[in-house]
Structure 1
């Protein structure tokens, strides 16, 4: 069993009946969608591709007149109170082309601000790389832009290629939360999906 299979299997055991019903109708991403994403992000980890091969995404998906908005991922924010949606390959590629995603951390905040708030900017992250060079695979349930998760393919210093960056708004911060996507998924499994309690609140 692959890591992606194990991840979704364990998560589905914690869903309500209604959540399971919605989750099971989500189709896989098409091979064309995956191929297009791999051309843009050739180092995309296999475990993330495997998730898409099972479910194309859980963020504003409409399938057979059923609207899907289902959080399936987590980070270190508020002990799972703010989980994340898995974005589709199509959503990721469309957003990567938007102007605001072509800016770097330095362009957004300026060098002086970064130095003054250095504890909020992980030294394993390059400050001069456009956001769309990172793969933004998940957005938080709190309006999306409040927190986003990225895969960083070009780290700095002691950083690791493929590390997971968590962006959090107000106060803004960019922190590495795992060294790889596999480690990221394993951490959530090991923590027993700390966000799963929210499914009861979303059972509508």
Structure 2
């Protein structure tokens, strides 16, 4: 099954099991109908996005965005990260650009927030795949949950990480945590949970 077939399998699951996921009925609310009309991003749109941020998007992310440029109100990435259930909506390239203007638009290490993070907190969060930032210009948010938690592509991983890996920014208490090596693995994890 290729990535898009897997995404379609998840879409179906969300539509049929929205109550279990604690979501509104996507058919009744019209989210499903709206979602079906969302086109994919064109190769030009993807390329100009890459140019703007001076990055090369991973192949599977390009594939996903060629299929759907965002998911509006439909949560197409229902996931469990560190035992927390979060149903993420895919942001459009345009939303990603807008979000970058105020979120992950500067570099700030965890140590710059002593009121929020003790040395112990920082030690607990240490992960050799992720640089110890709270905000980082090289993190690109691409999916959001409740306007406060984000999935982000990491273009500046630490020693044991890999470029394009997926991080999750969880708000209140704030933390940045590793989610998957890429979107394909992330989608596979979702399928394992729902099957």
Structure 1 and Structure 2 fold alike (TM over 0.5): yes
* RMSD, aligned α-carbons: 2.8
State the number of aligned residues.
Answer: 180
Unaligned runs of 5+ in 2: 17-25
Shift of 1:112: 9.2
Cα distance in 2, alignment partners of residues 186 and 112 from structure 1: 34
Q: Does 1:30 align with 2:34?
A: no
The aligned runs of 1:5-20 (5 Å cut-off) are 5-14=4-13, 15-16=15-16, 18=27, 19-20=31-32
Q: 1:51 aligns with which of 51, 64, 68?
A: 64
Cα distance in 1, alignment partners of residues 47 and 139 from structure 2: 17
Name the structure where helix makes up a greater proportion of residues.
1
Cα distance in 2, alignment partners of residues 99 and 134 from structure 1: 10
Q: 1:153 aligns with which of 137, 152, 155?
A: 155
Cα distance in 1, alignment partners of residues 104 and 165 from structure 2: 22
Q: Judge conservation of contact 1:121–1:174 (CA < 8 Å) in 2.
A: no
Cα distance in 1, alignment partners of residues 134 and 76 from structure 2: 28
TM-score, with structure 2 as normaliser = 0.77
Q: Does 1:131 align with 2:136?
A: yes
Q: 1:76 to 1:108 in 2, by over 3 A?
A: farther
TM-score, with structure 1 as normaliser = 0.74
Unaligned runs of 5+ in 1: 60-68, 194-204
Runs of 4+ in structure 1 over 6 Å off: none
